[in-house]
Amino acid sequence: MEDEFLRWIYKRMSKFKPPLLVGVGDDCAVLGLKEKKIVVTTDAILEGVHFDFKASPEDVGYKSAAVSLSDIAAMGAKPVALFAASALTFKYGGKYARRMVEGIIEALEPFGAQLAGGDYTLWSHPVVIVTTAVGTVEKPLLRSGAKPNDLICVTGTLGGSILGKHLRFTPRVNEALYLSQNYKINAMMDISDGLSLDLSRMMEASKTGCVIYEERIPVSSAAVELAKKDGVSPLKHALSDGEDFELIFTLPKKEAERLLKDSRIETQVTVIGEVQRKKGIWIRRNNGIKERLKPEGYIHGKTVYKPLKE
Amino acid sequence: MEDEFLRWIYKRMSKFKPPLLVGVGDDCAVLGLKEKKIVVTTDAILEGVHFDFKASPEDVGYKSAAVSLSDIAAMGAKPVALFAASALTFKYGGKYARRMVEGIIEALEPFGAQLAGGDYTLWSHPVVIVTTAVGTVEKPLLRSGAKPNDLICVTGTLGGSILGKHLRFTPRVNEALYLSQNYKINAMMDISDGLSLDLSRMMEASKTGCVIYEERIPVSSAAVELAKKDGVSPLKHALSDGEDFELIFTLPKKEAERLLKDSRIETQVTVIGEVQRKKGIWIRRNNGIKERLKPEGYIHGKTVYKPLKE
């Protein structure tokens, strides 16, 4: 089974192109890069934690790649190559592996990134897939660059990703590249563990605080739908559900004004708040009252309520 | 537990140096490289497959990093950064994770490579650790470059790694760099699945065959020891045991002659055979008779006996 899969993947991956100089089949892949700065991220996706039996092998492959692409995007970088190491359950076998690889390629192709290598083992436990993505960048966008008076923006809508988006989302690669090339973005990251938690991490890294406006949070229809089922408010879902894989970024007010008029960006961008010197995450409620927001998010099955260093 | 570990690792990894420009803590690590070619490899290490309960967390971390370093070495590249994604069993927890990280760092430090990022999840299944190593290279050494009449060399001694070497081996990074800088090496790879199997892969990739000499195979003392226990011959262990993590390389005869006189290389190097046009792996027995050698190796718990495309 393993040999069969390896033969299949050698054939499937034999058409690689620059900057990939050596693809699957040697001890390492070789990349010839013009850019001097590269970004690298690695993410583990586990059966029973990040997906369940309802996810197809294609979904699993797609998600694993898209999660790493989202991290590449969050740096304002261009994804170039992806590496996938997997441990598959014996009974799933080679067909599952091939379908998973097709899902990976489906996630990579729109961005011209290539599957460049991997590792593959069978075992008797649940499926594990670890993707490592490599991208190139001129000026990396860090989460530590937010400045007081910057406006805070997010792409897309938030909350309720568990209803489906967490498996099939579009990593914001094109949006991030466009933003970094056309605007002065001071800080950027992706929302993987929930808006309020990830925002608190950005503010902490930037040694700033912020206020966000309740009425401006772009609540997704999935958050509304989920709220009907579980009685938690749609806003709370938008603030604290994980796996939105949207971008949060901050930029000077004038830049934000320019961005809001920019018709070339097709993805929804919403100004949700403002960076301030005063630490902590604050929310201005619809009634005008500002209150402290306890950062909440979803990390691998447990709700967490504090940023790392607080 | 998770937050505690993350706080610990942020502190442990906060002293990074160039070419690592951004280390643990952002969406991606950022590397600023002078070289234009990079090599990347990813490897999964699974509890119950690649190690068992007798391995300490430090052993597990060390092995996971060293396996990827060995792949970097096999390209004649210099390891720069390593990324580690792990799924740890709940009951093992943060202390296990910290000890594992210390093992990783122990493997990296002799080569000046840095732990640059990772991912960390707890689950109820056995431990998984996936390492991805990035290296820089001027002229990558491929497994496909062997030429007829090249001599075939291996570093170190072979066989019986299951007795301990598979957990604590020295990846041949320095040796490979020295060789690539001072000799015309036509092909190189590391031995991860067994000499005869990996050699067959090199010959297949190079569209050549080879003959090796029974009396020249550097049988390790561990192979001799293991043979006493299991009745399999020491030679057979040296030819087909996995996880030696030594280098196989081929070079022109004159270069090999020069290498054998080179006192600057401290690791044992043995000429074990010669590349030939005629396909297949042949062995010249001690009685002078040449016979075909069926490539055998050990891949993740099963003995395999055929190269991928045969």
Chain A nearest CA to B214, separation (Å): 26
Residue B15 lies in a domain: yes
> In this structure, are A102 and A47 located in the same domain?
yes
Altogether, the residues listed in chain A come to a count of 310
Residue B310 lies in a domain: no
pLDDT for residue A306: 44
Q: Residue A4 pLDDT > 80, yes or no?
A: no
pLDDT for residue B3: 67
Contact assignment for B26 to A130 by CB distance below 8 Å: no
> In this structure, are A263 and A237 located in the same domain?
yes
Chain B nearest CA to A166, separation (Å): 17
Question: What is the C-alpha separation between B297 and B107, in angstroms, rounded?
Answer: 26
Contact assignment for A300 to B122 by CB distance below 8 Å: yes
Residue A200 neighbours by CB under 8 Å, 6+ apart:
A281, A295, A307, A310
Contact assignment for A189 to B27 by CB distance below 8 Å: yes
> In this structure, are A291 and A188 located in the same domain?
yes
Residue A229 lies in a domain: yes
Q: How far apart are the first and last CA of chain B?
A: 49
Chain B nearest CA to A288, separation (Å): 34
pLDDT for residue A5: 83
Interface test with B, best of A38, A114, A202 (most B CBs within 10 A): A38
Q: Residue A40 pLDDT > 70, yes or no?
A: yes
> In this structure, are B123 and B244 located in the same domain?
no
Q: What is the CATH number of the domain that holds B47?
A: 3.30.1330.10
pLDDT for residue A152: 98
> In this structure, are B264 and B161 located in the same domain?
yes
Q: pLDDT tens-digit profile of B117-164?
A: 999 899 999 999 999 999 999 999 999 999 999 999 999 999 999 999
Altogether, the residues listed in chain B come to a count of 310
> In this structure, are A39 and A117 located in the same domain?
yes
Contact assignment for B42 to A83 by CB distance below 8 Å: yes
For residues A122-138, give the mean pLDDT: 96
Contact assignment for A130 to B85 by CB distance below 8 Å: yes
Tokens of A280: 């902590």
Least confident interval from A1-10, A160-169, B2-11, B223-232: A1-10
Residue B214 neighbours by CB under 8 Å, 6+ apart:
B235, B283, B284, B285, B286
For residues A55-80, give the mean pLDDT: 97
Q: How confident is the model at residue A300 (pLDDT cuts 50, 70, 90)?
A: low
Quote the ipTM score.
Answer: 0.93
* Residue pLDDT tens, chain B, 310 long: 466 787 888 888 888 999 999 998 899 999 999 888 999 999 999 999 999 988 999 999 999 999 999 999 999 999 999 999 999 998 887 889 999 999 999 999 999 999 999 998 999 999 999 999 999 999 999 999 999 999 999 999 999 999 999 999 999 999 999 999 999 999 999 999 999 999 999 999 999 999 999 999 999 999 999 999 999 999 999 999 999 999 999 999 999 999 999 999 999 999 999 999 999 999 999 999 999 999 988 765 444 444 444 3
Residue range(s) defining the domain that contains residue A109: 2-136
> In this structure, are A98 and A157 located in the same domain?
no
Residue B143 lies in a domain: no
pLDDT for residue A6: 79
Residue A51 lies in a domain: yes
| Chain A CB contacts of B135 below 8 Å | 28
Chain B nearest CA to A276, separation (Å): 21
Q: How confident is the model at residue A279 (pLDDT cuts 50, 70, 90)?
A: very high
Residue B90 lies in a domain: yes
pLDDT for residue B140: 97
Residue of A nearest to B43 (CA): A119
Contact assignment for B30 to A43 by CB distance below 8 Å: no
- Name the H helices within chain B: 2-12, 57-74, 93-108, 173-182, 195-206, 221-230, 234-240, 253-260
Contact assignment for A123 to B46 by CB distance below 8 Å: yes
Of A75, A101, A136, which one is at a domain's C-terminal end? A136
> In this structure, are B211 and B298 located in the same domain?
yes
Q: Residue A2 pLDDT > 70, yes or no?
A: no
Residue type, B114: Q
> In this structure, are B183 and B299 located in the same domain?
yes
Assign residue A280 a region: left if phi > 0, alpha if psi is -120 to 50, beta otherwise? left
Question: Is there a contact between B126 and B47 (Cβ–Cβ < 8 Å)?
Answer: yes
Tokens of A133: 């993505």
| Chain B CB contacts of A20 below 8 Å | none
pLDDT for residue B300: 59
DSSP string, B269-293: EEEEEEEESS-EEEEE-TTS-EEE-
The residue that leads in pLDDT, B297 or A213, is A213
**Among A18, A22, A246, A43, which Cα is nearest to A132's?**
A43
Interface test with A, best of B3, B5, B21, B119 (most A CBs within 10 A): B119
Measured between CB atoms, which of B40, B125, B306 is closest to A117? B40
> In this structure, are A89 and A120 located in the same domain?
yes
Residue A310 lies in a domain: no
Question: What is the C-alpha separation between B103 and B109, in angstroms, rounded?
Answer: 10
Q: What is the CATH number of the domain that holds B263?
A: 3.90.650.10
Measured between CB atoms, which of A10, A40, A125 is closest to B83? A40
> In this structure, are B106 and B184 located in the same domain?
no
Question: What is the C-alpha separation between B65 and B47, in angstroms, rounded?
Answer: 15
Of B77, B110, B136, which one is at a domain's C-terminal end? B136
> In this structure, are A241 and A297 located in the same domain?
yes
Number of domains into which chain B is organized = 2
Residue B64 lies in a domain: yes
Assign residue B243 a region: left if phi > 0, alpha if psi is -120 to 50, beta otherwise? left
